[in-house]
Structure 1
Amino acid sequence: MGISCCKQVKVNTEGITRLIADGDKSILWIKGEKIGSGSFGTVYRAIDIETANYFAVKCISLKNNKLNSSKLIKLIQKEVDILKVLEHSNIIKYYQTDLDIENHEINIITEYASKGNLQSFVSEFKPLSNKILQKFIKEILNALSYMHNKGVIHRDLKCANILISEDSSIKLSDFGLSKIIESTLITSEIAGSLNWMAPEIFSREFEANENAEDITEIKKYKGYSFPSDIWSLGCTVIEMITGSPPWTDTCKTMKEVLKSIMTQNNFPNIPTCSLDLKDFISKCFIRNPQNRPSADELLNHPFLNENSSSAVTATVL
C-alpha cells in the first residue's frame, strides 16, 4: 500500500484532522521540537499520545515547494517504498505515513534516534578513537551490505544522514535519494552531495564543459551503482576523522570539487591516521568501481579487527 492508497481512517489530534495514509499501527502523535532537516522536509520529535514513546516525524509541505505536488508526492512515495522494505538494526525504522489535510503536509513517522546525527557528534568529539571508528564503520557497512543485497543504493551517504540511537548504535537515514536497482545495472541520474560523490557518476565529458558556472550544467554522466556508496563511505570516514567534508582542504568552490573528482588518479587527502585505517580508506577510493571492494569484503578488512590499534591522530581542518 502506498501513500496514494489511503485507509480512509480519520483521527483527530490537537484539533488537526489527519488521514492515515500508510502503516499498520495508526500511531496518534503530537509534534514537538525541530530536530533537523532531510530531503524535501523538516524533521521534528514527536510522541505517541497513548504510550509517550518518541518518534521522528519528517514533515513535507505540499505548498510553496519548488517541485509541483505531483512530482513531490512521487518522490515521497519512492522514499516510503524503500523504507518499507528495509528491516535492519542499523537502518532507521519506518512506521507510517500520514496526510495532514488541514496543513497540506505529508508526514513520515520513523524511529527516533536520541543522540542526533553523526555530523554533530563528530563536531563535538573529533578526532574519534579507532575503537569508536571501528564500531561506527562496521555498523555502517552492515547496513550497506544488507541494503545492497536488497538492491538498494543509498546515494547520499554522509555524516549528516547517519543517526545515533540511545544505545549508541548507528542508524542510516534519509532515503529520499535512494534507489532500488538490479545488481548488474546502474542508475543514470546525478543525485547526492557533491563532496561525497564517486567519479563514475560523471563522464570525461566534464572537460568539454569546464567553463560551466554551475554543476547542473554538466549533463553527461555514467551513473550510480553499489560501489558508489563505498566511495561515499571513504569520504564519510574522512569526515568522521576531521569533522570536514573531503576536498575542502584543496578546493574552494563546487566547480573545483567537481574538477578534482573528475581528474584521473586524483583522490581526497587522507588525514593522518593508523596504517590500517589509511589502507581501508584507500580501498574505498579505488577509482574503477568494478575493482572497488564491496561492503561484504570491507567487513573483513584488518582495520575492523578487534585487535587493531586503539588510538587515532587526525589533522583537524
Structure 2
Amino acid sequence: MAEWKKLRVLGEGSYGTVYLVLLRSIEEQKPKISLLALKTSSSYSMLREKKVFELLRGCEGIVQCYYYKCIVERGYLSYNLFMEYAPHGSLGNLIKTKLLSDKEVIVYTQMLLKGLSCMHEKGIVHCDLKPDNILLFPSWDDRTKYQLKISDFGLSKTSEEANADLGEIKFRGTPYYMSPESVRGFKETPLDIWSLGCIVIEMSTGLQQWWNIQTSDQLLCKLAFFNEAPKIPDELSYDCKDFLKKCFINDPQQRWTAKMLLDHPFIQKEYPTSLPTYNPSN
C-alpha cells in the first residue's frame, strides 16, 4: 500500500462510508495511480467483511477487494477496505432512470446468478441483496452496456454464522427483499434466491415488489405468519414467471439454487448450454 487521497463521498450507511479515492502506489519500481472505492468504518464488523472478501477473491460477479488497512484516525481505530470502483453507479439507480428490456433483464439476472453461485459454493450468504448493493461496471458482453457485480457484504454471514439468532421475528436486512424464513432468523443461501426474485420483478417492471404495502409491520406479518410471496406480474413471459416461481418456493429447502436457475429456460434463451431439456413439473 502507498498513499491515498479521498476525492468525494460515494455513499453512506450504518456500516460505514464509501469514498472515491486516488491511490498512488509503486509496482515493479514504477508509479501507479488507481481510482478505487474506499469503505471506511470504526466498526469491528469490517474485519468480518474483510474475511468474506478474502473468501470471494476471484469470484465472477463479485466486487473485488484489493487492499485492507487499519489506521488510527483522530484517536480512533479506522478499518479501511479498498475495492473496485464502479464508475456507472448501482442497479438501483439504473432501474430508476430507464425501463430495462427483456434481454437486459435476462443478461443481468445471469450475471447475478454467476455471482451468487460462486458465493454460495463458498458458504457465504449475502443477507441484503438488493439493487442498491449491485454495482455497474463497463460490460465485456456485447448484449448489454453494463457488467453487474454484487457488493456490500456488511450483513453477510458464513455458514457457521447463518442461524445465530433464531426465534425473534424481525427484519434482518432490507424489508422488501427478505424471505419468510429470514424474518424468523433462518439466514441461509435460499434467502438470496428469494431476494433475486424480488430484484427480477423490479428490473422487469420498474416497481418494487410489495409496492402497495404501506408499513414494514404489515409486510413482516405477511411474511412471518402468512408466508406470502410477491405477486408475479401477469405481463411477464411464461419463462420469467416460472423462473420467479422457483425463486419464491415457500420451503427454502425446495427453493431452487443459483446453479439450478442458471439452467432454467428463462436464462437459457440468451445463454444456451447442452444440458438436458428442462421439465417444468420439477
With structure 1 as the length reference, what TM-score do the two structures score? 0.74
Aligned-residue Cα RMSD (Å) equals: 1.9
> Which residue is 2:280 aligned to?
none
In the aligned structure 2, how far is the partner of 1:100 from the partner of 1:31?
A: 15
Structure 1 distance, partners of 2:208, 2:50, is: 28
Where 1:101 maps in the other structure, the secondary structure is: strand
For the pair 1:304 / 2:260, whether they are aligned, the reply is no
Q: Partner residue of 1:44?
A: 19
Shift of 1:186: 4.8
Query: What count of residue pairs does the alignment treat as equivalent?
Result: 250
CA drift of 1:59 comes to 2.1
The alignment status of 1:117 with 2:105, answered yes or no, reads: no
AA paired with 2:218?
Answer: E
Cα 1:232–1:141 shift into 2, 3 Å: same
> Residue 214 of structure 1 corresponds to which residue in structure 2?
none
Asked if the contact 1:119/1:243 (under 8 Å) is kept, the reply is no
Tell me, in whole angstroms, the C-alpha distance in 1 between the residues paired with 2:270 and 2:60.
Answer: 25
- Alignment match of 2:254 (pick from 284, 288, 291): 291
Q: Which residue does the alignment assign to 1:267? A: 229
CA distance in 2, matches of 1:238, 1:106: 36
Letter matched to residue 104 of structure 2: I
**Cα–Cα, structure 1 residues 307 and 29, in superposed 2: closer, same or farther, change >3 Å?**
closer
Task: Tell me what 2:123 maps to.
Answer: 151
Instruction: Tell me what 2:177 maps to.
Output: 196
Task: Judge conservation of contact 1:154–1:178 (CA < 8 Å) in 2.
Answer: yes
Equivalence for 1:34: 9
Question: Per-residue CA shift, 1:61-83, capped at 9, x if unaligned?
Answer: x3xxxxxxxxx31x111111001
Unaligned 5+ runs, structure 1: 1-25, 63-71, 203-220, 309-317
Deviation at 1:37, TM superposition (A): 2.7
- Deviations, residues 32-86 of structure 1 (Å, cap 9, x unaligned): 11112345111111112242321001121x3xxxxxxxxx31x111111001111
Note the 1:105-254 alignment, pairs <5 A.
105-126=78-99, 128-167=100-139, 168-181=146-159, 186-189=162-165, 191-202=172-183, 221-249=184-212, 251-254=213-216
Asked if the contact 2:112–2:148 (Cα under 8 Å) also holds between the matched residues in 1, the reply is yes
Residue 97 of structure 1 is matched in structure 2 by 68
Preserved contact between residue 106 and residue 267 of structure 2 (Cα < 8 Å): yes
- Cα contact 2:60–2:114 (8 A) shared by 1: no
Q: Classify the secondary structure of the residue corresponding to 1:199.
A: coil
The answer to whether the Cα contact below 8 Å between 1:98 and 1:108 also exists between their aligned partners in 2 is yes
Q: Which runs of 5+ in 2 are unaligned?
A: 25-30, 140-145, 166-170, 272-282
CA distance in 2 between counterparts of 1:123 and 1:283 reads 26
Q: Normalized against structure 2, the TM-score is what? A: 0.83
Identity %: 36
SS in 1 for 2:222: helix
